[in-house]
C-alpha cells in the first residue's frame, strides 16, 4: 500500500490533511483532522476506517465553497441542478402529489458539534450570479429553511441534507395564499404546482430576486456569520 499526505488549510484557517492511500490499483482519499492523521501514522494505515467514518464523496462535486474543521464542524455551499421532482403538498383534504420542475438551487449548511446550526436555500438562473427566492414553501424569503417535516439526522455526506429536503412534506408556511413575493405570479401554491406539473422546466420569469444576495456572497461569507 502506498500512502501520501498533503497539508491543507480551509477558508477559516483550520489545518487538515488530504490523505491518499493506494492499494491494488484503487485509491482511497480522506480528509483527516490533525489528530486523526497522527493516529493513522502512529498505527497501521490498514485501520484507517477506525478514524474516518465518512466516504470520499462527503462534499458533493457541485460544492462551490467548503469550510472544514472536522466532520462534526463544517460548512458547505453546493448547487443542485434543475430537475423534475416529486413535491408532496399537505392540504386540508390530505396530501397531494405533484411532479413539477424545480429551478437550479443552491444550498448552504453549517454544522457545529454535529448539529446543523444554519441552513438556507435559494433558486438560481443559468448564467447569473444573483440568487432568487426558493419558489415553494418551507423556505422563508431570507433563504432560511424550516425543517418541519424534514428529517436530516446522522448526515453521512453533505448531499444527504438536500436529499432529505426534497423528501419532506410541503405546506403553505412561508408561501401564503398567493406567494407573497416567493413567485412573480399570483397563484396559490396548489395552483402553481398544478400549472408547473404541465411543464418540463421551471419558468425563469416566475422567480423573484432575493434582493442583494449573490452566489459569491454566499460562498465568501464565513460560517459564523448568519446574514448570507
pLDDT at 51: 42
What are the backbone angles phi and psi of residue 152, rounded to the nearest 5°?
A: -135, 65
Residue whose C-alpha cell reads 438560481 in the numeric block: 124
User: What pLDDT is recorded for position 150?
Assistant: 61
Q: Which of 121, 190, 191, 119 is nearest to 155 (CA)?
A: 119
pLDDT tens digits, residue range 122-167?
Answer: 999 999 999 999 999 989 999 999 876 566 666 778 998 999 899 8
Nearest Cα neighbor of 198 from 85, 101, 91 is 101
> What pLDDT does residue 147 have?
73
Question: pLDDT at position 50, please?
Answer: 43
Beta pairing partners, 96:
89
- In the chain, where are the structural domains located? 1-53, 59-220
Helix locations, the chain, DSSP H: 34-42, 159-167, 189-196, 215-220
Asked if residue 220 lies in contact with residue 10, where contact means CB atoms within 8 angstroms, the answer is no
Residue 152 confidence (pLDDT): 61
Predicted local distance difference test score (pLDDT) of residue 117 = 87
Name residues of the chain where pLDDT drops below 50. 45-55
Amino acid at each position: 500500500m502506498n500512502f501520501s499526505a498533503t497539508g491543507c488549510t480551509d477558508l477559516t484557517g483550520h489545518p487538515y490533511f488530504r490523505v491518499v492511500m493506494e492499494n491494488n490499483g484503487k485509491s482511497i482519499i480522506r480528509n483527516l483532522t490533525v489528530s486523526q492523521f497522527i493516529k493513522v501514522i502512529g498505527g497501521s494505515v490498514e485501520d484507517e476506517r477506525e478514524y474516518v467514518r465518512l466516504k470520499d464523496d462527503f462534499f458533493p462535486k457541485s460544492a462551490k465553497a467548503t469550510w472544514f474543521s472536522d466532520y462534526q464542524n463544517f460548512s458547505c455551499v453546493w448547487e443542485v441542478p434543475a430537475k423534475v421532482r416529486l413535491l408532496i403538498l399537505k392540504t386540508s383534504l390530505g396530501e397531494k402529489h405533484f411532479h413539477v420542475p424545480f429551478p437550479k438551487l443552491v444550498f448552504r449548511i453549517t454544522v457545529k458539534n454535529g448539529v446543523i446550526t444554519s441552513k438556507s436555500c435559494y433558486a438560481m438562473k443559468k448564467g447569473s450570479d444573483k440568487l432568487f427566492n426558493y419558489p415553494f414553501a418551507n423556505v422563508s424569503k431570507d433563504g432560511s429553511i424550516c425543517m418541519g417535516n424534514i428529517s436530516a439526522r446522522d448526515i453521512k455526506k453533505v448531499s444527504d441534507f438536500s436529499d432529505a429536503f426534497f423528501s419532506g412534506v410541503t405546506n403553505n408556511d412561508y408561501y401564503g395564499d398567493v406567494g407573497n413575493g416567493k413567485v412573480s405570479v399570483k397563484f396559490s401554491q396548489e395552483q402553481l404546482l398544478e400549472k408547473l406539473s404541465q411543464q418540463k422546466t421551471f419558468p425563469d420569469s416566475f422567480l423573484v430576486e432575493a434582493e442583494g444576495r449573490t452566489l459569491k456572497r454566499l460562498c465568501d461569507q464565513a460560517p459564523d456569520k448568519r446574514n448570507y
